[in-house]
Chains A and B, each alone.
Chain A
Amino acid sequence: MNAHRFAWCAYSSLRCTLIAISTALFPCVSLCQMAFGEGEQARTELENRVEALTIFSGDFGLASGIFKSRATVQPDSTSATELSVTKVGGGGDIGDPRPFGNFPIGWQPRLQGNMGYLESASLPGPGQSAGDHIDTYAIEFGGGARFWLSDGFSLAPTVMALYGHASGNYYSIDSAHPKGQGPLGSLTGVALNDWNLDTWGLRPALDLQYVLTVGRDIITLTSDPTYFRMQSFDSSDPNVRINGNSGSLTNKIDIDIPLGFEFAGHELRSGGYLSRTDLFGDLKSGLAVEHMNEIHGRLVMDWLQQLWKVQWLGIGASYFWGTNIRGWSAGIDAAFRF
């Protein structure tokens, strides 16, 4: 009776800081060196960035937290971006597995959803005169089914739809190029001040899971290949469009350990997970991150069969590291079982 869990995470007012050295991430960084012919490239980079931030804010499978990133694409250029991300979401299998026809396979319906909000502020680095501010909010919902091929191994194909809205401002501390009229704007033909963009996307994914019980400890191995197809449908500027493909592959090992003693009538449980997420396509180029590792720890109270559908409730924290990125997150750790 495992794996029909609906996890929920809420990280309130998480601040994410990205210190990047990449023109791919921050098109406003190297305006002085930009030739006119590079305008198209800069616009594509801006679109990739917006696409990546939309996915990052709206996808329930990608982490949220406080990040510091150092890209090394162009070491002689520096700038800083601060991100603030808040996410509420999760996914879970509904009910107990039931037979799938006459096959020796069990199945459960699965639901997934997420809402997220992201604020991104690029700050001009030394010798630079421009920055920008991007807000993104996104909502994602979908589902599928989990098929149990054995008592421990299952796979869950899912499809989700994602809607995102991004808006931004370009600003300059150089009085010769006031906001929205700087060199990037003239080169790309994009009105960078007060722009906004609506995006939708499809997110097919396959969750492979193997659950192993050792004594009272539960070990869960998961692998999540995910594909994103994103497209804009409404933009304040016809020259800014999103039409891209992204992907991610997350491999995770989770361990859930009952501690054997109670607090306030509820058994305490500990555990956590170690995961690695590889990014592909526009998500990789837009964030300038190739992969990200996460180690998570939690201390929770067992409420299963004692309070509605609550499985556990407690606190959790993560540390992230990977290509050009490191960070942490902390918040409420809760899980539900339906």
Chain B
Amino acid sequence: MCRPQAVRKVSSLMSPTRGISAFILVAAILVLAGCWSLPGSHALNSNRQSRTVSPAVLVESVTCISIVKSVDFGARTITLLDAGDRLWVTYSVDSGVSNLGDFKRGDHVEATLAKRITLGRGTPHDDREASLAPPNDARVLLLDRSYRLLTLRRANGVIETVKISLRTNLSEIEPGEAVTKEVVNVTALRLKKRSAASGENR
């Protein structure tokens, strides 16, 4: 059966009005189009000076699965394997963590770490001593002020994104800025898998 109306429908979709609309669209594209730049490229090329005054940027809690190497109940510290760097790192444990004595060497735990970023390289925060974990120098690559996301490029080239606290003054942060990232303490520990040796000891 012949259906000529299909052809008419096509032509109706290509009327002069549509042509004018298409022209306006193309014109809008040309007007709005500028020059795209790779996100963070400005930051990498920046020679921004470090601050002499370094406000702390509080980073919200981060959870990670780690292996316990040792626990010092008296000093309230725990040594965990850093999943990113594959290094043993000793963290101070917050006084609110009541189950510190439950963990033994080899246990797999989910640790909640309170992290802090300090703006300005080599200007440690007053409470830096509270953390035994080594600080990581990095540079601010991107800042999403709306969602409070800070993308950092660490000295070893690793790029990571962290969410900064709502209490942080975002106007203090600019892409390209040098920062120091450090763990303040461990705020929660949860057992994921008991080590075989630990089970025998019990």
Stretch at the interface among B67-75, B89-97, B108-116, B161-169: B161-169
A-B contact count (CB 8 A): 92
Q: Within the complex, what minimum Cβ distance (angstroms) separates B149 from chain A?
A: 6
Residues of A within 8 A of B35 (CB): 104, 150
In the bound complex, do residue A149 and residue B146 qualify as a contact, i.e. CB atoms below 8 Å apart?
Answer: no
Residues of A within 8 A of B64 (CB): none
**Which secondary structure dominates where chain A touches chain B?**
strand
Nearest A residue (CB) for B22 = A225
Residues of B within 8 A of A44 (CB): 5
Q: Within the complex, what minimum Cβ distance (angstroms) separates A309 from chain B?
A: 12
A96→B161 CA distance, assembly (Å): 13
For chain B, residues 1 to 45, give those with C-beta under 8 angstroms from any C-beta of chain A. 1, 3, 5-6, 9-10, 12-13, 21, 25, 28-29, 32-39
Residues of A within 8 A of B25 (CB): 208, 223, 225
Residues of B within 8 A of A99 (CB): 38
Q: Which residue of the partner chain, among B21, B39, B147, contacts A304 with CB atoms under 8 Å?
A: B147
A260→B3 CA distance, assembly (Å): 59
B57, CB-defined interface residue at 8 Å: no
For chain B, residues 158 to 192, give those with C-beta under 8 angstroms from any C-beta of chain A. 161-163, 166, 170
B144, CB-defined interface residue at 8 Å: yes
**Which secondary structure dominates where chain B touches chain A?**
mixed
Residues of B within 8 A of A97 (CB): 36, 38-39
A151, CB-defined interface residue at 8 Å: yes
Residues of B within 8 A of A152 (CB): 32
A210→B36 CA distance, assembly (Å): 13
A157, CB-defined interface residue at 8 Å: no
In the bound complex, do residue B163 and residue A244 qualify as a contact, i.e. CB atoms below 8 Å apart?
Answer: no
A282→B151 CA distance, assembly (Å): 48
B117, CB-defined interface residue at 8 Å: no
Residues of A within 8 A of B193 (CB): none
For chain A, residues 206 to 243, give those with C-beta under 8 angstroms from any C-beta of chain B. 208, 210, 213, 215-218, 223, 225, 227, 241, 243
A306→B63 CA distance, assembly (Å): 10
In the bound complex, do residue B163 and residue A305 qualify as a contact, i.e. CB atoms below 8 Å apart?
Answer: yes
B138, CB-defined interface residue at 8 Å: no
In the bound complex, do residue B163 and residue A304 qualify as a contact, i.e. CB atoms below 8 Å apart?
Answer: yes
In the bound complex, do residue A1 and residue B151 qualify as a contact, i.e. CB atoms below 8 Å apart?
Answer: yes
In the bound complex, do residue B146 and residue A106 qualify as a contact, i.e. CB atoms below 8 Å apart?
Answer: no
For chain A, residues 38 to 56, give those with C-beta under 8 angstroms from any C-beta of chain B. 44
In the bound complex, do residue B145 and residue A210 qualify as a contact, i.e. CB atoms below 8 Å apart?
Answer: no
Nearest A residue (CB) for B33 = A149
Residues of A within 8 A of B145 (CB): 213, 215-216
Interface size on B, residues (CB 8 A): 34
Nearest B residue (CB) for A260 = B166
Chain A 133-152 per-residue mask, 1 if CB under 8 angstroms from chain B, else 0:
00000000000000011111
Chain A 194-212 per-residue mask, 1 if CB under 8 angstroms from chain B, else 0:
0000000000000010100
Chain A 230-271 per-residue mask, 1 if CB under 8 angstroms from chain B, else 0:
000000000001011101010000001010111000010000
Q: Within the complex, what minimum Cβ distance (angstroms) separates A168 from chain B?
A: 21
Residues of B within 8 A of A218 (CB): 146
Known: A153-B32, A208-B29; 16 extra A-B contacts, CB below 8 A, are A1-B142, A150-B36, A151-B36, A153-B33, A210-B32, A213-B145, A215-B145, A241-B1, A243-B6, A244-B6, A249-B21, A258-B146, A267-B148, A281-B13, A282-B9, A302-B147
Chain B interfacial positions (CB closer than 8 Å to A): 1, 3, 5-6, 9-10, 12-13, 21, 25, 28-29, 32-39, 60, 142, 144-149, 151, 161-163, 166, 170
Chain A interfacial positions (CB closer than 8 Å to B): 1-2, 44, 96-99, 104-106, 148-153, 155, 208, 210, 213, 215-218, 223, 225, 227, 241, 243-245, 247, 249, 256, 258, 260-262, 267, 280-282, 302, 304-306, 311
What are 17 A-B contacts with C-beta separation under 8 Å? A1-B142, A1-B144, A1-B149, A104-B36, A105-B36, A106-B36, A149-B36, A150-B32, A150-B33, A153-B32, A208-B25, A215-B145, A216-B170, A225-B25, A244-B9, A280-B13, A281-B12
